[in-house]
Amino acid sequence: MTLVERFLKYVSFDTQSSESSETTPSTAKQMVFAQYLKTELEELGLEDITLDENGYLFATLPSNVDGVVPTIGFIAHMDTSPDCSGEHVNPRIVENYDGKDIVLSAEEGVTLSPIQFPELLAHQGEDLIVTDGKTLLGADDKAGIAEIVSAIAYMKEHPEIKHGPIRIGFNPDEEIGLGAHKFDVEKFGCEFAYTMDGSEVGELEFENFNAAGAKFTIRGRNVHPGYAKGKMVNSMLVANHLMGLLPENETPATTEGYEGFYHLVGIQGDVEQTTVSYIVRDHDRTRFEERKQYMKELVDKVNACYGETLVTLDMKDQYYNMREKIEPVMYVIDIAKEAILATGVDPIVRAIRGGTDGAQLSFKGLPCPNIFAGGLNFHGRYEFVPIQSMEKAMQVVVKIAEITAQKLMK
C-alpha cells in the first residue's frame, strides 16, 4: 500500500472526538480506527504491539544494528476535530495544481481560492488532496499516521537503512486536549520522540503557548422588571462590565508571533446567572502568570464595584511551553533539522500559537518536538494536503531514524 493509498483509507474512518464525553477515547469510533491500525501493524510484522482500553496504540520496529542506539518514537493522533464533520469524507486529488480556484462543492458554493488562502500558491505544480466541500479532510492528523506507517514499512523493505529501535504511538483525543493525559510514557520507553502533527512542509516546532482555561460565573438577582429599581442585578450586564475590563488589543484577532492573548470562547446566561469562558495564552511563563493574576484581580474589582460577591472564577492550567524541557536536549532538534535538510527542504523553526501533545509529553518526561505533516487549513472543509509534502514528511521520519543511529550509537 502506498502512502497516498494509506491516507485515503485512513480518512474513510470517522474519528471525531467529543468534548462532552467522559470516556477515553471520547468516541467509540476512534477505537474502531485503532483496531484497524493494530491489524495493519501486525501485518507489517512489527513487535510489542499493544492497544489498551483507552485507545493508545504502541508498536516497535526493532533495531537492525549491532550497537546500542537510544529508542526513539514517532507519535500522531487518531481523532479529528469536533469543529467540522468527519463522516463520509470524500477526498479527491487535484493533479498539477495550476494556482487557480478549486471548486470543492458547486451545489454549496464552496471554493478553495488562493485569494482567501494564499498558501495555495506555494504548491503550484503539486498534487493536492482536497475535500468535497462538505467535511473536513482529516490530514490533521491522519497524514501524520500515514507518514509514520509508510516510513516504517519503507525501512522494513530497505534493511540497508540502519536504525535503532523505533517506537510508534497513536493516541486518541488530541483535538480536545486529552491526547497525552493517559499516554503511558514509561511503557512507551523512548529517550525522545517527535509528534508528526505540524502543518506546512519544513515546520519544526519546540515552543508553544503556556495555556489556561478560565470560567467566570456571575450571579445575578432577578426581580420583576417593573419593580426592579435598586433590587435587580442583571448577571449579563455584570458579565459585560467584566469583559470590558480586558484589553481589547490582546485577542487572537489582534496578535501574532510570540504575543499572548485572552480569548473569549463562550457565553451562556440570563438575568439570574451567566458564565463566561476564556482561554489564556502566552509563550512567556512570567507573562502567562501575570495574565492569570489579572483575571483573578478582575473578580475582586467587579465584586468591589457592586459591593457584594457576584463573580467567582474557576481557572486551571492546561499545558506549558515545552521549550524549557527541550532546551537541555537540543540535540533532538539538531537531528530533526539535519533530517529535514537531507530531504531538500529548509527547516522552518517557529513557535506554535497553540498546543501539542508533545508539550504535555515533554513535561511527563518525554522530550517531544513537533514536525510537519503537510496539511493546511485544518478543522474545516477548506483543509488540503499536498502529496509531495506528505512524501517529504515520510522521508524525514526515515532520515531521523538513520541519523540517530549514525550519531548516537555506542
* Residues tagged active-site: 79, 174
Q: Residue 279, Cα to own-chain centre: how many angstroms?
A: 16
Q: Please, are residues 1 and 21 in contact by the beta-carbon 8 Å criterion?
A: no
Q: Please, are residues 372 and 200 in contact by the beta-carbon 8 Å criterion?
A: yes
DSSP state of 221: B
Question: What single letter denotes the amino acid at residue 205?
Answer: E
Residue 73, strand partner residues? 167, 193
* CA gap 318, 288 in Å, rounded: 12
* CA gap 76, 15 in Å, rounded: 13
**Intra-chain end-to-end CA distance of the chain, in Å:** 35
* 297 class by beta-carbon count within 10 Å (0-12 exposed, 13-18 middle, 19+ buried): exposed
Residue 238's SS3 state is helix
User: Cα separations (Å) of 360 from 33, 55, 78, 281, 356?
Assistant: 24, 18, 17, 15, 7
Q: Could you give the maximum distance between any two Cα atoms of the chain, in Å?
A: 86
According to DSSP, the β-strands at 203-205 and 370-372 are antiparallel
* 244 class by beta-carbon count within 10 Å (0-12 exposed, 13-18 middle, 19+ buried): exposed
Of 385, 319, 335, 345, the C-alpha closest to 145 is 385
* CA gap 229, 213 in Å, rounded: 36
Question: What single letter denotes the amino acid at residue 222?
Answer: N
List strand residue ranges (DSSP E) for 180-251, in order: 192-198, 203-205, 210-219
Sequence-distant (≥ 6) Cβ neighbours of residue 327 within 8 angstroms: none
